[in-house]
Amino acid sequence: MLRQILSKLPRKSSKTDSAECARHESPITQQRSNGSTAGLGKSSSGPKRTSVVFPASVVAGIEPLVPFKDVPNAEKMNLFVSKVSLCCVTFDFSDPSKNTLEKDVKRQTLLELVDFVASGSMRFSEPAILAMCRMCAVNLFRVLPPYYRSNSSSAGENDDNDDPMFDPAWPHLQIVYDLLLRFINSTCLDAKVAKKYIDHSFILRLLDLFDTEDPRERDCLKTILHRSYGKFMVHRPFIRKSLSNIFYRFVFETEKHNGIAELLEIFGSIISGFALPLKEEHKIFLWRVLIPLHKPKSVGVYFQQLSYCVIQFIEKEPRLASVVIKGILKYWPITNSQKEVMFLGELEEILEAISMMEFQKVMVPLFWRIGCCINSFHFQVAERALFLWNNDQIVNLIAHNRLVILPIIFPALEKNAHNHWNPGVLNLSLNIRRMFSEMDDALYLACLDQLKEDEEKLTLLAEQRKEAWQRLEYAASLKPMTENTAVLVTPLTTSIAC
């Protein structure tokens, strides 16, 4: 069996098979589909695989199944490349009974490579970096299965029938991901050399994998991309731009992507490292990406990560608080109560960090919206809005601007205090009304008088409207309408033209 395995390794290579040629050759085009992939143990008389092309001087005469401890240090890097080339052979994991021996040989080889990379015993040569990137590309970069999950569920709603699809090859893929992570983290990896192979194309293929339904794979990808962002400074602008493009496509085109939460988590750590003052590029990302991400109905899936990113921006530059609040009010949900509760929670976090000047810019539309939430028939929305008064920082902002805020919020409180169906909401409304009375009794009484006056005006208008309709009905009863009769109606008088 070992002889058959070794017969699959390239022993000779033409002079044109240089490392540069191997790098530009797409690894994905070299591998076959899972159902027709040749195993490690097939006869050498069959068609030979060409998915691994390495310089002959690197792998010639090196047996990949020899342990690292059995070769001198001078040959360890050649053995590393040989073992990596062995792992470029892929298998069909949908059938556990196929190629079991070959799969086990590959698994043991991958585990041995993980231990070798973790040991950090020697620096990686350029052919070794090329071989490692090529092996990861062959094993990891693949076409993901299409969606079967509906996108009709509301924000934050979990459907027990929508279980994620798990890749049957995950036990094998997990080792490859672990190997790639340790390789990128290794102090023996020269970033200046590795950036030629972990390039823009490699990063884009990694980002494509974030759309997998397997949360375990997305978690591995999140860590690897974060480490890559820290290791390869030259790729940082490209990574940020690529993330923005994924968010744009999600918000404005598809509203379907499995990895938005993980990508936002990565960007949250990136934002925390932004230098001050913030660049215009970063502010544009806030306006054009983070704020519109409040719009999709699936926002509940990634809302925690989104809120963290927004708060990071405000902590970096407090003047952005008013811009963020205006954006949230723009995308405020009308019929989705769960989203309203989440938005109110985010508003509370922003108001805790906002300055008085920025607060005064948005307090009128903000408290008009809060007043609508207070009158919501959904008790959770009304309750969450009233809970804002439990925050001392928000109460302080309201107290300093009560001359503007109380006239806006007072009608909503009075309406709740008289006829809200939920006892908890009713009691909270009474407590806040009492708080305003103790804060400024004269203003409270003035608002009460103004409310009564407005109600009298509304009553008078209702009576006038009722009388107008009565006059219309009386005028219509005097002369019954015939076919093709045009009717001209004025607010207080009625004329009939024939």
User: In sequence order, what DSSP letters do the residues of 367-385 get, joined into one string?
Assistant: HHHHHHHHT-SSHHHHHHH
Query: 221-249, pLDDT tens digit by residue?
Result: 999 999 999 999 999 999 999 999 999 99
| Least confident window among 31-45, 115-129, 352-366 | 31-45
Tokens of 142: 């693949």
The predicted model gives 403-408 an average pLDDT of 94
Cα–Cα dist 375/410, whole Å: 11
Residue 402 scores a pLDDT above 60? yes
Task: For the beta carbon of residue 453, count every other beta carbon within 10 angstroms.
Answer: 10
User: Could you give the angle at the alpha carbon of 370 between the alpha carbons of 366 and 372, nearest 5°?
Assistant: 120
Q: In this model, does residue 355 exceed pLDDT 60?
A: yes
State the pLDDT at residue 445. 93
Q: What is the mean pLDDT of residues 274-300?
A: 93
Hey, CA dihedral for 304, 305, 309, 310, is it positive or negative? negative
Residue 47's φ and ψ, nearest 5 degrees, are -65, 135
Give the pLDDT confidence of 64-101 residue by residue, as tens digits.
778 888 888 888 898 899 999 989 988 888 888 888 88
Cross-strand pairs, 495: 488
Per-residue DSSP letters for 254-266? I---S-HHHHHHH
CA-nearest of 204, 223, 242, 251 to 28 is 204
Nearest Cα to 242, choosing from 218, 225, 261? 225
What is the CA 435 to chain-centroid distance, rounded? 40
Given this model, what pLDDT does residue 478 score?
Answer: 83
What is residue 484's predicted lDDT score, i.e. its pLDDT? 66
pLDDT number for residue 144: 84
pLDDT in tens, 427-448: 999 999 999 999 999 999 999 9
494 DSSP assignment = E
Cα 246-251-254 angle, rounded to 5 deg: 80
The SS3 call for residue 57 is helix
**How confident is residue 62, by pLDDT bands cut at 50, 70 and 90?**
low
Report residue 429 as tokens.
Answer: 């409304």
Nearest one of 374, 356, 275 to 319, comparing CA atoms: 356
For 103, 104, 110, the CA distances from 97, given in Å and listed in that order, are 10, 12, 20
pLDDT, mean of residues 41-57: 35
For residue 156, pLDDT beyond 60: no
Class of residue 17 by CB neighbours under 10 A (exposed 0-12, middle 13-18, buried 19+) = middle
Distance CA 81, CA 213 (A): 32
pLDDT computed for residue 474 by the predictor? 87
State the pLDDT at residue 167: 81
Give residue-wise pLDDT tens across range 445-496: 999 999 899 889 999 999 999 999 999 888 888 876 666 666 655 555 444 4
Range 56-83 burial, b when 16+ CB lie within 10 A, else e: eebbeebebeeebeebeeeebbbbbbbb
| Least confident stretch, 17-31, 132-146, 312-326, 362-376 | 17-31
155, two tokens: 């924000």
The identity of residue 463, as a single letter, is: E
Whether the per-residue pLDDT at 139 is higher than 70: the answer is: yes
Q: Which residue has the higher pLDDT, 60 or 406?
A: 406
The pLDDT, as a whole number, for residue 420 is 87
Nearest to 45 by CA among 2, 86, 8: 8
Q: Helices 423-439 and 402-419, interaxial angle, to 10°?
A: 150
Q: Report the percentage of the chain scoring pLDDT > 70.
A: 80
State the first-to-last Cα distance of the chain, in angstroms, to the nearest integer: 103
Q: What is the mean pLDDT of residues 309-320?
A: 94
The phi and psi torsions of 30 (rounded to 5 degrees) equal -85, -25
- CA dist 261 and 334 (Å) reads 24
pLDDT averaged over every residue in the chain? 83
pLDDT of res. 480: 65
**Per-residue pLDDT, 496:** 42
The bridge status of strand 486-489 relative to strand 494-497 is antiparallel
Long-range contacts of 250-258 (CB under 8 A, 24+ apart): 250/293, 250/296, 251/289, 251/292, 251/293, 251/295, 251/296, 252/292, 255/151, 255/296, 255/297, 255/298, 256/147, 256/151, 257/210, 257/211, 258/164, 258/210, 258/211, 258/212, 258/213, 258/218
Q: What is the pLDDT of residues 179-193, one digit of tens each?
A: 999 999 999 999 999
**Mean pLDDT lowest for which of 131-135, 195-199, 487-491?**
487-491
Query: For residue 1, what pLDDT band results from cuts at 50, 70 and 90?
Result: very low
Is the pLDDT assigned to residue 148 strictly greater than 70?
no
Residue that the structure tokens 């003047």 belong to? 319
Q: Is the model more confident about 63 or about 69?
A: 69
| Rounded CA separation 306/26 (Å) | 35
pLDDT at 479: 73
Cα distance between residue 293 and residue 378, in whole Å: 24
pLDDT at 213 over 80: yes
Instruction: Report pLDDT digits (tens) over 159-171.
Output: 444 667 788 889 8
Q: How confident is the model at residue 112 (pLDDT cuts 50, 70, 90)?
A: very high
- Name the more confident of 266 and 11: 266
User: In the numeric block, which tokens belong to residue 226?
Assistant: 């974060």
d(CA 314, CA 278): 11
Predicted local distance difference test score (pLDDT) of residue 485:
63
What's the rounded Cα separation, in Å, for the pair 208 and 142? 9
Token pair of 294 as six digits: 């409040």
Residue 50 pLDDT greater than 60, yes or no: no
Averaged pLDDT for residues 151-156: 41
| The predicted structure's pLDDT at residue 486 | 63
Sign of CA dihedral 65, 68, 70, 75: positive
For residues 7-17, give the mean pLDDT.
43
